Amino acid sequence: MTILNNVSFEVAKGEAVAVVGASGSGKSTLLGLLAGLDTPTSGSVHIAGEDLFALDEDGRAALRARLVGFVFQSFNLLPAMTALENVMLPLELASESGAAATAKALLERVGLGGRLTHYPKQLSGGEQQRVAIARAFATRPALLLADEPTGNLDEATGAAIIDLMFELNRERGTTLILVTHDMELSRRCGRALRLAAGELQS
């Protein structure tokens, strides 16, 4: 079964691109490939000049550590860690010094300075997504990938999260690729890629 076929595009540094399409059109699969979380039967993905699939699994992991940040639909915070610790984790994995200070500053930036020691289950959905955004930006990634970041949130909360993402995107000059079927959200991106039945439509 072919999920994606003849999909080819380039995204410039600092650009914000939305990937839109109906359920089952292959949006999430595309995102997984862009992040190197999955491998294609054929084709290639280059990030900052590096061929993702020329690397092995651990090589891709190292590249992600250096260049890529993620925001997921289901937040994916670790339940056994506090908000602060969740944001610290990628910094700690990169063995960066001052992880706690960086994470604290980021959580304050997303408006959660008062909830550092709270566990995910003590936070609302919007708050959890803010923690996830702070975590995604913690390592100053060149590329931020977001999978339906507002999919689990109500409209008002979703709008606030989107604002936050774009603000951070501008502040840090990050390239943003986000998967959504929220038309409002796709309009705010500079460009929208439309997927239908695994093919890119212009």
Partner 1 sequence: MRFFADAALALRLLARDWRAGELTLVAVAVVVAVASVTTVGFFADRVHQALSRQANQLLGADLVISGDRAMDVSYAAEAERRGLQVARMLRFPSMTTGGGQNVLAEVKVVTGGYPLRGDLRIADVQNGTDRRATEIPKAGTVWVDERLITRLQLQVGDVIEIGKSKLPIAQIITQEPDSAIGFINAGPRVMINDADVASTELVQVGSRIRYRVLVAGSPAAIADYRSWVTPKLAPGQRVESIEDARPEIRSALERSEKFLSLAALLSVVLAAVAIALAARRFLQRHLDACAIMRCHGASQSRLVRLYLQQFVVLGAAASLAGCVAGFIAQHALALWLGSLVTVELPEPGWMPALHGFVTGLALLLGFALPPIVALARVPTLRVLRRDIGAPGGMGLLGYALGAVVIAGLIIWKAGDLRLGGMVFGGFAGAMLVAGLLSWGVIALVSRIGGAGVSWRFGIANLRRRPMASVLQVVALGIGVMALLTLTIIRSELLDLWQRSLPPDAPNRFIVNVQPDQIPTLKKFFEGRGMTMPELHPMVRARLIGINDRSVTPADYSDDRARRLVDREFNLSWATQMQKDNRLIAGNWWGNKPRTDQFSMEDGIAKALGVGVGDKLTFDSAGSAFTAEITSLRKVDWDSFNVNFFVVSPPGLLEKYPASYVTSFYLPPGKVELLNALVKQFPNFLLIDVAQVLGQVQTMITQVSRAVQFVFLFTLLAGLVVLYAAIASTQDERLYQATIMRTMGASRSQLARANLAEFAVIGALAGLIAAAGANALGYTLASRVINVGYTFSPMLWGIGIFGTVFGVMLAGHLGTRHVLRIAPLRVLRMLS
Provide the binding-site residues for partner 1, judged by CB under 8 A: 28, 31-32, 35, 37-38, 57-58, 61-66, 70, 72, 74-76, 78-82, 85, 89-90, 92-95, 119-121, 125, 139, 147
For residues 12 and 79, which CB has a smaller minimum distance to partner 1 in the complex? Answer: 79
Shortest distance, CB of residue 190 to partner 1, whole angstroms? 24
Shortest distance, CB of residue 189 to partner 1, whole angstroms? 20
For residues 121 and 187, which CB has a smaller minimum distance to partner 1 in the complex? Answer: 121
For residue 47, report the phi and psi dihedrals to the nearest 5 degrees. Answer: -120, 125
**What is the rounded distance in angstroms from the CA atom of residue 47 to the CA atom of residue 177?**
12
Answer for the pair 189, 18: CB distance below 8 angstroms, yes or no. yes
Nearest partner of 189 among 169, 199, 109, 171, judged by Cα = 169
Shortest distance, CB of residue 90 to partner 1, whole angstroms? 4
Nearest partner of 7 among 15, 16, 19, 24, judged by Cα = 19
- Give the CA dihedral 56, 61, 67, 69, nearest 10 degrees: 140
For residues 93 and 183, which CB has a smaller minimum distance to partner 1 in the complex? Answer: 93
Tokens 């990050």 belong to residue = 174
Shortest distance, CB of residue 202 to partner 1, whole angstroms? 26
For residues 57 and 163, which CB has a smaller minimum distance to partner 1 in the complex? Answer: 57
Answer for the pair 16, 189: CB distance below 8 angstroms, yes or no. yes
Shortest distance, CB of residue 86 to partner 1, whole angstroms? 9
For residues 63 and 105, which CB has a smaller minimum distance to partner 1 in the complex? Answer: 63
Shortest distance, CB of residue 192 to partner 1, whole angstroms? 20
Residue 101: both structure tokens together? 């200070």
Tokens 């960086």 belong to residue = 102
Nearest partner of 199 among 11, 16, 19, 78, judged by Cα = 19
For residues 122 and 163, which CB has a smaller minimum distance to partner 1 in the complex? Answer: 122
